Amino acid sequence: MERDDIIEYSLDTHHDEEAGKKIRKKIYFVTVLLSVVTAIEVAMGIIWGKAHIDVDGMGWLTIKSIFIILTLLKAGYIVMVFMHLGDERKSLRNVILIPYVLFIGYLFFILLVESSFIFYVKDVIGWV
Amino acid sequence: MAGEATKAIDQAELWGGGRSPFSVSYGKMMMWFFLISDALTFGGFLSALAFARHHLEDAWPVTENIFFHFPLTHAHLPLLYVALMTFILIISSVTMVLAVEAGHRMDRKGVVKWMAFTVLGGAIFVGSQAWEWMTFIAGPDGLLSTSADNASLTSNPYGPQLYADFFFFITGFHGTHVLSGVVINLIVLIRSMQGWYDERGHYEMVEKVGLYWHFIDLVWVFVFTFFYLI
């Protein structure tokens, strides 16, 4: 269990050469992972980009979903490893991530719903 | 078990209540607060982009047909220069995290070396973005003139006006962040060279500017997907 009666301070986070080696190994792993994922995204964008695919079909929806999943994967590694949020107290992590994800998730949801409605009004039934 | 500290902490470094919430220093907590507010701004931009392009889907231009230029060549290379820029930013993020790691070992030479690479990567990225803007503004004929087929906030030869507006606002806002990040990194680089942080006993300032720099990389990851790929 985490004891909260001991004051640790982030200014005191020092480590020796041994621990540094381990941390660097992790950094290099994440570097390779981010580069490979970016390369995959670009290759997908060139081969199956919007220019070459039926935008209304299921194929484009799948590609789009894969793009978003890969992006969230990259974002997770950047935040958790590069920004050390994975090593901070759990409470700090929750305070930062949960309100943000909930709010932006809802914002995207409601804007896409409204956008579909505008498309419907304008282009499908032609009110405007 | 009673509330005794394992280590005496300087009164000046403790927060007002005599504790440090979440075990982080005041400066780091405030950097996180700032990043959350900044992330909300970019979240607003990107969700507005999603809103606009979702109901203009048919008219929205295909990115590969606009961003296919590469410096010093006339070859048709869709997305490749943006991909290269993304890669440069990721690598400069890696050198930044290596600087933070060196700082935890109080290794001044390491910090200076990696911070220098970070500044270089950031500068290359800003330069690339300037080139990208120039190419985009020139329009399909590739001529920077005052004629109407240049892209601006009031005219867009590629398609809906909103496309150009979002390009300028999102990449411009991000580019401003990169530029200020380069300046801040440069200041921290010079101070590390002068030994400021050895005197202070810790390299937390490198970690704090590192948070900002990684955040810039994080935003670009999303801009790359939502503006260029989808």
Q: Residue ranges per domain, chain B? A: 21-229
Residue A15, number of CB atoms within 10 A of its CB: 14
Give a yes or no: residue A3 inside a domain: no
In this structure, the answer to whether residues A21 and A45 fall within a common structural domain is yes
- How far apart are alpha carbons B54 and B90 in whole angstroms? 29
Mutate to test the interface with B, among A33, A42, A96 (most CBs of B within 10 A): A42
Pinpoint the alpha helices (H) of chain B: 26-55, 80-104, 108-138, 161-193, 196-200, 204-223
Q: What is the tens place of the pLDDT at every residue in B153-205?
A: 888 888 899 999 999 999 999 999 999 999 999 999 999 999 999 998 889 99
pLDDT of residue B180: 97
Sequence-separated (6 or more) residues with CB below 8 Å from residue B161: B154, B155
Contact A5 B32 (CB under 8 A): no
Mutate to test the interface with A, among B33, B76, B94 (most CBs of A within 10 A): B94
CATH superfamily, domain at B21-229: Cytochrome c oxidase, subunit III, four-helix bundle (1.20.120.80)
User: What 8-state DSSP symbol labels residue A81?
Assistant: I
Q: Say whether residue B19 is in contact with chain A using an 8 A CB cutoff.
A: yes
Residue B92, number of CB atoms within 10 A of its CB: 26
In this structure, the answer to whether residues A80 and A98 fall within a common structural domain is no
In this structure, the answer to whether residues A59 and A100 fall within a common structural domain is no
Give a yes or no: residue A101 inside a domain: yes
Type and span of the H or E element at A39: helix A17-47
Question: Which tops the pLDDT comparison, A14 or A104?
Answer: A104
In this structure, the answer to whether residues A21 and A83 fall within a common structural domain is yes
In this structure, the answer to whether residues A39 and A80 fall within a common structural domain is yes
Contact A107 B222 (CB under 8 A): no
Give a yes or no: residue A7 inside a domain: no
**Number of domains comprising chain A:** 2
Instruction: Express as a percent the part of chain B with pLDDT over 90.
Output: 62
Q: Which of A11, A20, A96 sits opposite B101 (nearest CB)?
A: A20
Contact B48 A122 (CB under 8 A): no
Q: Say whether residue A127 is in contact with chain B using an 8 A CB cutoff.
A: no
Answer for the pair B94, A31: CB distance below 8 angstroms, yes or no. yes
In this structure, the answer to whether residues A77 and A127 fall within a common structural domain is no
In this structure, the answer to whether residues A29 and A73 fall within a common structural domain is yes
Give the A window 64-103 contacts with B, CB below 8 Å: 64, 67-68, 70-71, 74-75, 78-79, 81-84, 88-89, 91-92, 95-96, 100, 103
CA B85 → CA A45, B124, B162, B169, distances in Å?
Answer: 16, 8, 24, 18
Which range has the worst mean pLDDT, A47-51, B77-81, B86-90?
A47-51
CA B192 → CA A1, A119, B122, B175, B198, distances in Å?
Answer: 37, 55, 18, 25, 8
Q: Which of B102, B106, B221 sits opposite A75 (nearest CB)?
A: B221
Give a yes or no: residue A4 inside a domain: no
In this structure, the answer to whether residues A104 and A76 fall within a common structural domain is no
Residue range of the domain that includes A61? 17-87
CA B37 → CA A81, A95, B30, B34, distances in Å?
Answer: 21, 13, 11, 5
